[in-house]
Structure 1
Amino acid sequence: MAAEAGSGSLIQVVSLLGAAVVAVPLFKRLGLGSVLGYLAAGLAIGPFGAGLFTDPQSILHTAELGVVMFLFVIGLEMRPSHLWNLRRSIFGLGSLQVVVCGALLTLVGVAFGFSWPVSFISAMGFVLTSTAIVMQLLGERGDLAAPRGQKIVAILLFEDLLIVPLLALVAFMAPPAVGEVAASAGARWTAVGMALAAIGALVAAGLWLLNPLFRVLANAKAREVMTAAALLVVLGAALLMQLGGLSMAMGAFLAGVLLSESTFRHQLEADIEPFRGLLLGLFFLGVGMSLDLAVVARNWPLIVSGVLALMAVKALCIYGVARLARSSHADALDRAVLMAQGGEFAFVLFAAALAARVIDPVVNANMTAIVVLSMALTPLTVLLHKRFARQTAVSMDGVEAVGEHTASVLIVGFGRVGQIASQGVLARGASLTIIDNDTQVIRDAQSYGFKVYYGDGSRPDVLHAAGAHAASAVLVCINDRAAATLIAEIAKEACPQARVLVRAFDREHAIELAHAGADFFVRETFESAMLLGREAVIATGASAEEADEVMAEVRRRDAGRFDLELAGGLFAGRALVLRNLADKAAPEDAAQAAH
C-alpha cells in the first residue's frame, strides 16, 4: 500500500513537471507568455481536464510560497530610501485607485442584482490585482526597474497591504452566529495588537539579528547552510506575519526590505531564485486547476458577463486614475491592460467571507471562476495590446532633443560600450556629443552627470545637427547589429571627414562593416578574449614574452582568415581554420598557407 501511495504521488509530481515543461515553452514560442502556459497546463491536468489532480486547493496552498518568495526578492530591491521615494505612489496613487475601482465595481455588483455587502466583498476581491501575474509580466519585458513599472509595483504593494483591513472588515460584517455572541471590541483590539507585535518583532529581527546571523554562516563557508538560512528567513517572516493575522507575502516583503542594505543581499537573491521560480510556476498551475468548468458551464452567462464587465470597468478606472495622476496616455493604457484582473488575494478574501457567512457558496464559486478567468485572460489582453495598440510618441520628460552642436567626437549609443569609449575622449579634454534614442538611458545618464541628447543616429539630419559634419570621429556603439551597419554607411557618406569607428558583434558583422566603409571596427569580445588567452598561456608556464609571441601569431592568423573572408573567400577561410587546427605540430607551414 505504501509503495502504491508513493507511486501515485510520484505520478502527480511527474505530471506537474511534464505539463510545465511542455506547455510553457510552447506558449512562449507562440508569443502567449509563460503565465498563460502554466494556467493552460494546470487546466489540462486538473480535475476538469485529465483528472490527475482532485484537490487543486492543496497545491495552491503550498504554491502560495512562490508568491511569498517573489515578494521577498522584490523587497531586496526596495531599499528603505527607495520606498520612501515611492510613498506618494504607494499611498496616494494606490489608495486613489483602490477607492475609485472599489466604488464602481460595487455598483457593477448591485447592477447584477446582488446585495450591497455581497457586491462590496466581490468588488474588493476583484480590486486586489494579481501580484504574481503582473510582476511576472513586468519581469519578462524588463519593466520592473522602469519608472512606469515602479508605479505599478507601488500600487501592488498597497493592495497587498489592503488585505489586512479587508479581512478585519469581513469580521465586522459577519452576522452573529446562533447561540454565539459577536466578537467583542476587546478581542478585535487584541488582534490589532498581535499584528503590531508581529511587525515589531520582524523589524527588530531584521535590524539586529539577521546580518550577524548571515555573517556567522558566511564565515562557516557552508553553502547549503546559507541556502537553508535564506529559506528560514523568508518562511519564518511569512509565518510570523500569519501568526499575527497578517499577509504572509507582506511578511516576506518586509524581510526583504530589511535586508536590502545587507552585504548578503545578492547571495540571498541567488539562493532564493530557484525555489521562487518553481513555486511561482506551481502557483499558476494550481490556479489553472482551480477553474471549475462545471460552475462555468452552469452559470456561464453570469460568469462571462461578470468577467467582461468587471475587467472593463476596472481597466477604465485604472486608466482614469493614471491620467488624473498625469501619466501619459501610453503608460495609463498599459497599466489598465496589465492590472485589469483579479488576484490571488481575492481567494483569501472570498474564503474568509464564506466562513463568516457574508457570501454564500454559490457566490464564492462564481466569483472564484470570474477571478481565475480574468487572470487567464490577462496575458492574452497584454499580447493583443502590444500587437494592435497604436504606437505613441516617446515620452520626452526630462530629455532634450539634439540641436545644433559641434564636437570633436560624436558617440551614437550610450550603453555599456559607449560609456567606456567616452572616457578617453573626456580625459583628453576634447569636445564630445552623445546621442541615444532610449529616453530611459538618457535619464539614467543624467544622474551620473552625463549630458545625452535624444536622437536617431540613422538619420543624416540628426547626425548633422549633432555635429558630425565637423567631428573628427563618429563612434557607433549601439546594441543593434543592423542599425549599426546602417549608421556606419550613412555616417561615411554624410561625414567623409570623420573616422567612423564601430562596435562589431562578431566576425560576420565586422565584414559587413568593412563593406559599409567603416574606418575601424572591433569585435566586442575579441580583445577581452585575447587578453584571457594570454593569461591562459602564461598559466601553462610560458613567460610573458612567449605569451605575447603566441598571441601575436593568433592575431596574425585571425587577420589572415578575416582578409580571405572579406575578399569573398568565406569557405576558404573556414577551411584554413580547420587546417590550422590540424597542423598545430607545424605552425610554420600553416603560417605560409595563410599568406
Structure 2
Amino acid sequence: MGHDSAITELLALLGAAIVAATVFSRLGLGPILGYLVAGAVVGPWGLGIVSDPGRIAQVGEFGVVFLLFLIGIELKPARLWVMRRLVFGLGTAQLLFTGAALALLAWFLLDVTPSAAVVIGCGLALSSTAFGLQVLALRNQLSSHWGRASFSVLLMQDLAVVPLLAVVPLLGGGPHLTWTDLGLGLGRTALIVGGVILGGRLILRHALRLIAGSRSTEIFTGFALLLVLGVGWLMETAGLSMAMGAFLAGLLLADSEYRHQVEIDIQPFRGLLLGLFFMGVGMEIDLDGLWRHELLIAGILAVVLPLKTLVLAILARFWGLAPGEALRTALLLAQAGEFAFVLFAYASRNGVLPPALGAPLVSAVALGMALTPFMVALGDLVAPRLRGWSVPVDPPFTPSDEGDKAPVVIAGFGRVGETVARILIHLGVPCLAIDLNPENVYRGRRDGFRVYYGDASRPEILRAVGARQARLLVVTLDNATAVERTLETARRHFPALPVHVRARDASTSARLVGLGAALAVPETLESSLRLGAEAAKAGEADPEALAELLRTLRRDNYKGLVRELDPTS
C-alpha cells in the first residue's frame, strides 16, 4: 500500500467514525451502531475507500483485548469466586441449551451434516463480548444483577472458544489431530496458565514497583501495554485467545496498588481500538451478498435472535434474576459474536462448513451485532413493566464492597500524609491515599494502610478512588506545582468535594484558598504556633488564654496570624 493510500484510508476512517458516532449518539442510538455504519460505508462493500477490512479488524481486535484486561482489573479473584455459580452454572447452561437447539435447527433446516450443524449451533450460541461489555460499561451496569449475569455468560463463552476450536479438526475427520493430541494441548494450556499466574504473583508487583521508580509516565504506560499484550500473546500460543490472556493479566493486578494508574493508562487505547473493531465488523457486511442471500440471512436472524432471547431469559429466571433483569440479559446477548467469525472461518478451512454457507453466516452475525443497540433499547422499554419475585444469586456490587472508596482521600503519602492517615484510622475514620512515589506506596501498604500508586492530578485517578463519593480530599504533596494541579483538578471535576491542602507559607496558603481550597495549612505558620505555644507554657501563661489565642489565630485560614507576621497583608 502506498503512503498516500494509507493516509487516505486513515483520514476516511477517522472522519467517518467521528461523524457517525456523533450523529448516532445524538440520536440516542449509541456510538457502537455509528461505528458499524461508518465501517460499512467506507469498506469494500460500500465506497471502497478501505480495501482490506481484515487488516482493520485485526488491529481492532486489540480493543477487545484491552477491554477484557480492564474488566479483569476491576474483578478481584474473590469476587470472581463469588460469581462462580453464574459463570459455570448459567454460562454453561446457556451454551448447552442454545447450542443444542440451534444445531438441531441447522441440521433440519439447512440440510447440513451433523458436524456442520454442531459448528453452526455453537458459533451462533456465542455472543459478542465486545458489544455486551461495551454496552454495560457505557450504561454503568456492570455492577447490576443483570450486568453481572451477562458478564458471567460472556466469560464462560470465551472460555469455551478454546475447546470448540480444538474439536473442529476432529469434526472434519482430519487425520492430523487425535484425541491424544487434544489432551496434550489442553495440558500444555493448563501449564502455561498456571505458570503465568504463579509468575505474576511472584514478580509482577516487584516489576511494577521498579518501573514506577523511574517516575516516568511514558515508561509506566509502555510497561502496562507490554504486560497486556505479552500475557495475551502467551495465552494465544497456549491455544487461548489474547482477550482471555489479557483478562488473566487484569485479574493478577486486581489486588495491586498499581491497578488504578494502569487502568487509566490503558483506557484511551481501549476506546480507540474498540472503535476500529466495530468499524471492522461493519466492513464485513457484504452489501451485495445481502441481496443475493436476503432470505437465508433474514431466516437465520429470525431464528437466532428470538431463540437465544427465549432460552436465556428462561435460564436467567431459573438462576434467580427478576423478570426485567432476565429480559435485559437475554436481549443484550441475543446476537452472535466476534468469535463466531473465527469459528466459522476455521471450520471452513477444515472442510466442516460448506463454503456456500460461510458468507451468509458472517453477514447474519454482523447484522445481528448491528441490531444489538435496538435490542437493548427494547429491553429498556419492556423491562420496567415486568414485575416478579426473585432471589438474587449474588448481592450487587456497591462502593463499600469494592474496597477502593473512603470518606477521606489523601493525595500524597509522605510524612504529612501518613500522619493524617494515622490520626484518621486511630479515630475510626476510613481513608485511603494515592501517591506517585512507589517507595511511599510500598511502605504504606507494608504498614497496613490503603495506599495506591497514581497521579492525583488526573481526574480519572480521583474518580477511580471514589472522589465523587468522598467527603474530603486532603492534599499533602510537598511539590507546590503538584498541589496546585491537584487542587484545580478537584475543583473542576468534583466541585462539591471540599479540599484541604498543605501550603509552604502564608502567601502560598492565600493563593491556594483563592484557587478554591476550603482550608490551606501553611507549614511555617503552624510550626510557629506550636513553638509559640510551648514557649508560652514554659513561661506559665494562662492555659485558657493560650487556647483562645490559638483558636483566634487559626480562624479563617490563619488570617489573624498572617496580619501579624506577613508584611504584605
TM score, norm. by length of structure 1: 0.67
Q: Is the 8 A contact 1:534 1:547 kept in 2?
A: no
Deviation at 1:530, TM superposition (A): 6.8
Of 146, 149, 160, which aligns to 2:147?
149
Q: Deviations over 1:6-64 (max 9, x none)?
A: 12111111111111111111101101011111101111111111111111111111111
1:127 partnered with 2:125: yes
Of 51, 56, 61, which aligns to 2:58?
61
Of 199, 223, 240, which aligns to 1:246?
240
Partner of 1:450: none
Of 343, 348, 353, which aligns to 1:354?
348
Query: Compared with structure 1, are the counterparts of its residues 35 and 135 closer, same or farther at alpha carbon in structure 2 (3 Å cutoff)?
Result: same
Partner of 1:583: none
Counterpart code for 2:347: A
Q: Is the 8 A contact 1:343 1:371 kept in 2?
A: yes
Partner of 2:283: 289
Where do residues 152-301 of structure 1 align in structure 2 (5 Å cutoff)?
A: 152-176=150-174, 181-301=175-295
Q: Deviations over 1:559-581 (max 9, x none)?
A: xxxxxxxxxxxxxxxxxxxxxxx
What is the aligned-residue identity percentage? 38
Q: Deviations over 1:485-544 (max 9, x none)?
A: xxxxxxxxxxxxxxxxxxxxxxxxxxxxxxxxxxxxxx95699897864679988x9999
Partner of 1:104: 101
Q: 4+ runs of 1 displaced by more than 4 Å?
A: 393-398, 523-532, 534-539, 541-547, 549-552
| Unaligned 5+ runs, structure 1 | 399-418, 421-478, 480-522, 553-595
Counterpart code for 1:206: G
Q: 1: CA distance between counterparts of 2:70 and 2:517?
A: 39
Q: Is the 8 A contact 2:63 2:274 kept in 1?
A: yes
Q: 2: CA distance between counterparts of 1:46 and 1:526?
A: 51
Partner of 1:305: 299
Deviation at 1:220, TM superposition (A): 1.4
Partner of 2:43: 46
1:28 partnered with 2:22: no
Q: Is the 8 A contact 1:534 1:548 kept in 2?
A: no
Question: What is the SS of the residue equivalent to 2:213?
Answer: helix
Q: Is the 8 A contact 2:327 2:383 kept in 1?
A: no
Deviation at 1:219, TM superposition (A): 1.0
Query: Compared with structure 1, are the counterparts of its residues 532 and 89 closer, same or farther at alpha carbon in structure 2 (3 Å cutoff)?
Result: same
Deviation at 1:192, TM superposition (A): 2.2
Q: 2: CA distance between counterparts of 1:375 and 1:175?
A: 32
Q: 2: CA distance between counterparts of 1:21 and 1:304?
A: 30
Q: Is the 8 A contact 1:534 1:551 kept in 2?
A: no
User: Which shifted more, 388-397 or 47-56?
Assistant: 388-397
Query: Compared with structure 1, are the counterparts of its residues 389 and 74 closer, same or farther at alpha carbon in structure 2 (3 Å cutoff)?
Result: closer
Q: Deviations over 1:209-253 (max 9, x none)?
A: 211111101111121111111011110111111111111111111
Q: Is the 8 A contact 1:538 1:547 kept in 2?
A: no
Where do residues 554-569 of structure 1 align in structure 2 (5 Å cutoff)?
A: none
Q: 2: CA distance between counterparts of 1:110 and 1:238?
A: 36
Q: 2: CA distance between counterparts of 1:328 and 1:354?
A: 40
The total of aligned residue pairs comes to 427
Q: 1: CA distance between counterparts of 2:243 and 2:339?
A: 10
Q: Which has the larger radius of gyration?
A: 1
Question: What is the SS of the residue equivalent to 2:2?
Answer: helix
Q: Deviations over 1:391-435 (max 9, x none)?
A: 34597969xxxxxxxxxxxxxxxxxxxx99xxxxxxxxxxxxxxx
User: Which shifted more, 101-110 or 129-138?
Assistant: 101-110
Deviation at 1:549, TM superposition (A): 9.1
Q: 1: CA distance between counterparts of 2:370 and 2:95?
A: 22
Partner of 2:461: none
Q: Is the 8 A contact 1:133 1:375 kept in 2?
A: yes
Counterpart code for 1:227: T
Question: What is the SS of the residue equivalent to 1:294?
Answer: helix
Counterpart code for 1:86: M
Of 97, 113, 126, which aligns to 2:110?
113
Query: Compared with structure 1, are the counterparts of its residues 231 and 107 closer, same or farther at alpha carbon in structure 2 (3 Å cutoff)?
Result: same
Q: Is the 8 A contact 1:533 1:551 kept in 2?
A: no
Q: Is the 8 A contact 2:313 2:329 kept in 1?
A: yes
User: Which shifted more, 360-369 or 339-348?
Assistant: 360-369
Q: 2: CA distance between counterparts of 1:69 and 1:280?
A: 9
Q: 1: CA distance between counterparts of 2:232 and 2:110?
A: 39
Q: 2: CA distance between counterparts of 1:182 and 1:538?
A: 75
Please tell me the root mean square deviation across aligned C-alpha atoms, in Å. 3.1
Counterpart code for 1:105: L
Q: Is the 8 A contact 2:227 2:249 kept in 1?
A: yes
Q: 1: CA distance between counterparts of 2:117 and 2:180?
A: 29
Deviation at 1:360, TM superposition (A): 2.3
Q: Is the 8 A contact 2:325 2:383 kept in 1?
A: no
Query: Compared with structure 1, are the counterparts of its residues 291 and 530 closer, same or farther at alpha carbon in structure 2 (3 Å cutoff)?
Result: same
User: Which shifted more, 256-265 or 322-331?
Assistant: 322-331
Partner of 1:406: none
Of 73, 77, 84, which aligns to 2:74?
77
Query: Compared with structure 1, are the counterparts of its residues 197 and 549 closer, same or farther at alpha carbon in structure 2 (3 Å cutoff)?
Result: closer
Question: What is the SS of the residue equivalent to 1:209?
Answer: helix
Q: 1: CA distance between counterparts of 2:212 and 2:22?
A: 37
Of 321, 326, 330, which aligns to 2:320?
326
Query: Compared with structure 1, are the counterparts of its residues 43 and 545 closer, same or farther at alpha carbon in structure 2 (3 Å cutoff)?
Result: farther
Deviation at 1:92, TM superposition (A): 0.9
